[in-house]
Amino acid sequence: MEIDSAGLRTLAAVVAAGTFDAAAHELHLTPSAVSQRIKALETAVGRVVLQRGKPARPTADGEVLLRLAKQWDWLHAEATSALTGGVTAGESDTDWVEPIHMPIAANADSLTIWLMPAIVAMSRSHNVVIEVMRGDETRTADFLRSGSVLGAVTSDPTRIRGCTAVPLGAMRYLPVATPEFAARWFPSLGASDARSPSPAELSRAPMVSFDRSDAIQRTLIEDMVGRTASPPTSYIPSSTQYHLAVEAGIGWGAVPAMQASQALDAGRVVRLSDQHRDVELYWQHWRLHSPLLETFTALVRYTAAEVLLSSSIG
């Protein structure tokens, strides 16, 4: 099987632009030439790689080739930087080399709590610019499947084709609320030896979620009382503002233990239960021999180990 690099570039252009006509404009080709390149690529691999529609979307096999196209661009840029010395901005203008673009995906809590030191260290030590695509930890792997990023912090342990999955550890979430909120909405906690709010209380008490795909609070409700509930919910899609909203008393929420620790020690919030939810995190990345990717992976593993609980996986 021979895969033509021009076909890979054309596939990437069509997916990025959404249509054959738009890709033709970007590549300075005719739409017919773009169509011929895609057909030649599909003939070479013996599979359909694009769903012809508006927008055009890659098939599962097309996603593999799209990732290959992005990997080729990445390795080409890395080799160019190595051959030219990888001079960073601020040095001689005549020697300046454009930084290598490193797209990654991460959930908001990881970015806020532990990932930034790895990004900073990588940016300071290498001629790179890092783009973080944010998404829920259950969905960041989708960026990797589509070839949009070279690595992702994810809670999905299923290794993506062509990628390596590295266990990082677990992020612990605690159900907390202000003392005033707990006294108003969960009176059973003060009136008996109850170790968790009652099902009726949890169905009525306002709750704070990150967004509509955030399932941690509802999972904790099941852990606490053995059944589901759909309480009134506020949505705060910011890791920093989320735990501040809980501290402000607009609802109870599941806050990462590291963020909640100072508020718990100061009495600004109280735990609603001994129950907690540990979310196992993984760093999934392209399986490439790339010194830059290997360096960043080592930084991610180091910074995660400083904060996350030891993984129960492997």
Q: What is the pLDDT of residues 119-156, one digit of tens each?
A: 999 999 998 999 999 888 778 888 888 778 999 999 98
Domains belonging to the chain, first-starting first, are 5-60 (1.10.10.10), 63-167+281-307 (3.40.190.10), 172-278 (3.40.190.10)
Kindly indicate the confidence band of residue 88, based on its pLDDT and cuts at 50, 70 and 90: very low
Spatial CB neighbours of 166, under 8 Å, sequence gap ≥ 6: 282, 283, 284, 285, 297, 300, 301
Q: What is the pLDDT of residues 193-215, one digit of tens each?
A: 667 899 999 999 999 999 988 88
φ, ψ (nearest 5 deg) of residue 169: 135, -175
Spatial CB neighbours of 297, under 8 Å, sequence gap ≥ 6: 151, 166, 283, 285
How far is Cα 77 from Cα 181, in angstroms, rounded to an integer? 54
Is the previous residue joined to 55 through a cis bond, with omega within 30 degrees of 0? Answer: yes
What pTM value is reported for the model?
0.78
- Tokens 């109850």, residue located: 194
pLDDT over 70 percentage in the chain = 93
Over residues 104-119, the mean pLDDT reads 95
Kindly indicate the confidence band of residue 97, based on its pLDDT and cuts at 50, 70 and 90: confident
Over residues 29-40, the mean pLDDT reads 91
Q: Calculate ∠ Cα 82-84-87, nearest 5°.
A: 90
CB 54 within 8 A of CB 90: no
pLDDT of amino acid 93: 55
Q: Which two tokens stand for residue 167?
A: 């266990």
